Amino acid sequence: MIRIAIDGPSGAGKSTLAKSLAARLGIIYVDTGALYRTVGYYVKTKGVDPKDSGAVEALLPEIKIELKYEAGMQYVYLNGENLGEKIRQPDISMYASAVSAIPAVRRFLLETQKSVARENSVVMDGRDIGTVIIPDADIKIFLTASDEVRARRRYNELLAKGMDVKYEDVLADMKERDARDRGRDIAPATPAPDAIILDNSDCTNEESVEDVISIIKEKLGDIII
């Protein structure tokens, strides 16, 4: 079993890196942000304030989340429905960040994440993978980049999906979300003491993948296909 934890702020390129690594290693890629996004999505459809921890906690018994993996892709089901791109909207990012600061929500999603990592070789990305979900991961990477570079990447992604957004709004939203994710009391988005911190502001995706592959080879030997 190989377990690789990739943490870091939004827009650092975690999912691109994690997907490439998982494909090269022939193991599954687990996107844990999708779980918080799914809870955020449900909270929004119910018209509940995502910062109202009591009201959010009261909704949790109504939520059943399942993760499925097919051909290297992760699909998240909410009460039997595959939500697809619905959880990728900018307002759902804010809902996800707000609900992720609520201890009951983190407890609710803990076992789903731990069991995937227990039963499979994984590359898992999130905010607390190296600190909480897989504290004994073989490799822990904390991927980061400057605010402007991350916001520009996120802006380009949203434009490519046909969304009508302004760069300044994306930057402001990202800073607000990161400050909350980093500053929360429970499982804050900070590097594990044994994480390798990589700043990819000046790298292409391919260069970041190669950097991490070198780290893996150094630590685990020639397991890369």
Q: Is 97 in the site for ligand DC (CB under 6 A)?
A: yes
3, 19, 37, 44: residue in contact with ligand DC (rule CB under 6 A): 37
Q: Closest approach of Cβ 49 to ligand DC, in Å? A: 17
Rule CB under 6 A: say whether 16 interacts with ligand DC: no
> Is position 126 an interface residue for ligand DC (rule: CB under 6 A)?
yes
Q: Per-residue string for binding with ligand DC, 157-196, x by CB under 6 A?
A: --------------------x---x---------------
Is 19 a binder of ligand DC (CB under 6 A)? no
Q: Note whether 131 and 192 are within 8 A (CB).
A: yes
Cβ-contact 143, 127 below 8 angstroms: no
Say if residues 125 and 6 touch (Cβ distance below 8 Å). yes
How many Cβ atoms from other residues are within 10 Å of residue 215's Cβ? 15
| Residue 10 in contact with ligand DC, rule: CB under 6 A | yes
**Interface size with ligand DC, residues (CB under 6 A):** 15
Q: Tokens at residue 64, please?
A: 């059943």
In the complex, least distance from residue 23 CB atom to ligand DC, rounded to whole angstroms: 19
Near ligand DC by CB under 6 A, which window of 92-100, 140-148, 199-207, 217-225? Answer: 92-100
The number of beta carbons lying within 10 Å of the beta carbon of residue 201 is 12
Our CB check for ligand DC shows the closer of 48 and 223 to be 48
> What burial letters (b/e) apply to 178-189, b meaning 16+ CB within 10 Å?
bebbeebeebeb
Burial of 91 (0-12, 13-18, 19+ CB in 10 A): exposed
Strand 3-7 versus strand 139-144 pairing type: parallel
Question: Angle of helix 90-100 relative to helix 103-119, nearest 10 degrees?
Answer: 100
CB of 110 to ligand DC, least distance (A): 10
Residues at the interface with ligand DC (CB under 6 A): 10, 32-33, 36-37, 93, 96-97, 100, 126-129, 177, 181
